[in-house]
Structure 1
């Protein structure tokens, strides 16, 4: 990488970069930016010269971003959002006038629950605001610091001093099984059921062992994990097969059942730790009206979910 010459970059070029990264297509980026395809292609050429990087390279019939472009996406988006705030000025507090993207890192168990509800609330009040939900590949606070993400919804350890937190709710695990299976028709899940039937382990890190195994070990019992999947939603759908068990956060399982997925929820017949789900943001945006607005909407979205009773 050579040195980027600041004079070679302007906000219009950065907007082209953002649109290209978001769409992966010169034609679609041009359509979003209301430019011609040749003009967008020329802008991509200028970006490549200014950044000394190909940005997008051909892979089959499409284009894929380079590692540098992927690393730069969050920084560019933060710069564009900051420029939008400067242009609108502090007096512009009407969300309907905002044209910006908020990035939210979301625990995978909450994606199917929170994302549609929050998107619906935001679209009703701020039609030109876009939400980008980022997978929780790690719990590193640096993306909050550099503006790559605006909010983090997570179960994590104590935050660093420059990150603010607010507890959204406390969740617990339930066992989900197919509603039309023998386990689904049973009045309750017994310890023998838990140990006899195969399990699906949901773990973004690919782990087959978890808190349930720690709880069973002192009892001289164990379970058999027949599959490991990356998300709770996938694990719950796999449990639709006959007599497979998957442990899923209660709020996620309740959402799936409420949406008509034919699952049965059972209390787990051993004591498992609960999890405090927190909202986190960096202190530099603590007083930012847009961040406060988004945090309020997220709290209001989750409040009725957190009130769902156990069992």
Structure 2
């Protein structure tokens, strides 16, 4: 133990509380992470500030903002926590696979991970994939920094100094999808009249206002038109979306490469149609996000590289 008299009366539990508050952004979220009351967190912070004899946080509308001195202390504490964590890590037992937990939606699971099961590192790790709906950025942030999740796939990068993110794939081209028995399947492309006359099925995991009808289809990120689509079916299941189109008069708008995947790889009885030139669609980007201090950082980056390679070289 240290012979420094300053450490004699210092409660080392305060290090863990301090780290949780800075990572979570406020006492309430930190209390949930540590499974204690917010009052206990506040008392611990007061004791810590008394120990240093200075203010370490500034209260803002967003929560508790650490001072520059607090960030210096937190940097030192982080090194201590990493050292302690390394002593607790158990070496992998022979024949027992380590787990990697990934959050995303069912599109990512089918479009990417279903093509990688026979490759490394899937033979070395047990991949736990969970579909989440709706997207909750704060939940993702806390799951990553709390080490309960190793990677999250999102349509927007998660802004946090403790997290790192990279683009996996950019979707620029879109098409309309309909059933083979739909009369539209005989057409080389759609007219505006076709587009707005037929009912639409949309994939939706959130409801941010974007389109004229006040709803947002996350695979249709930017539609410029004074008209409103006639939406007859909403779902957060990509299989549900394609099945609805395949067995009805619904049409759907999807990124072209994704639509081709379900047509060729999944063998759905669907036709792909060019969209009216009058419609303008913005690009869509998929991001991988992870915690910079993740203990399995090398493995996470390995999977990210695999996803990027698949996105670059796949035929659809």
Distance 2:88 2:275 in 1: 49
Q: Is the 8 A contact 1:171 1:274 kept in 2?
A: yes
What is the match of residue 45 of structure 1? none
Q: Is the 8 A contact 1:171 1:276 kept in 2?
A: yes
Cα RMSD (Å) = 3.1
Which of 196, 208, 223 is the equivalent residue of 1:215? Answer: 223
Larger % of helix: which?
A: 1
Secondary structure of 1:87's counterpart equals: coil
Q: Is the 8 A contact 1:108 1:231 kept in 2?
A: yes
Distance 1:83 1:98 in 2: 20
Size of the aligned set, in residue pairs, is: 218
Q: Is the 8 A contact 2:221 2:281 kept in 1?
A: no
TM-score by length of 2: 0.60
Which structure would you say has the larger Rg? 2
The answer to whether structure 1 residue 303 and structure 2 residue 309 are counterparts is yes
Distance 2:87 2:167 in 1: 30
The answer to whether structure 1 residue 182 and structure 2 residue 183 are counterparts is yes
Secondary structure of 1:272's counterpart equals: coil
What is the match of residue 258 of structure 2? 252
What is the match of residue 205 of structure 1? 206
Distance change >3 Å, CA 146–CA 101, structure 1 → 2: same
Distance 1:156 1:213 in 2: 12
What is the match of residue 273 of structure 1? 282
Q: Is the 8 A contact 2:178 2:250 kept in 1?
A: yes
Distance 2:162 2:121 in 1: 30
TM-score by length of 1: 0.61
> Equivalent residues in 2 for 1:19-38 (5 A)?
none
Secondary structure of 1:239's counterpart equals: helix
The answer to whether structure 1 residue 171 and structure 2 residue 171 are counterparts is yes
Distance 1:174 1:232 in 2: 16
What is the match of residue 118 of structure 1? 116
Alignment gaps of 5+ in structure 2: 1-34, 36-84
Q: CA deviation at 1:306?
A: 3.9
Q: CA deviation at 1:225?
A: 0.5
Secondary structure of 1:268's counterpart equals: coil
> Equivalent residues in 2 for 1:1-311 (5 A)?
86-88=89-91, 99-122=97-120, 125-126=123-124, 129-137=125-133, 138-140=136-138, 141-157=141-157, 159-172=159-172, 173-205=174-206, 209-210=215-216, 215-217=223-225, 220-259=226-265, 260-269=267-276, 270-285=279-294, 288=295, 290-307=296-313
Distance change >3 Å, CA 213–CA 169, structure 1 → 2: closer
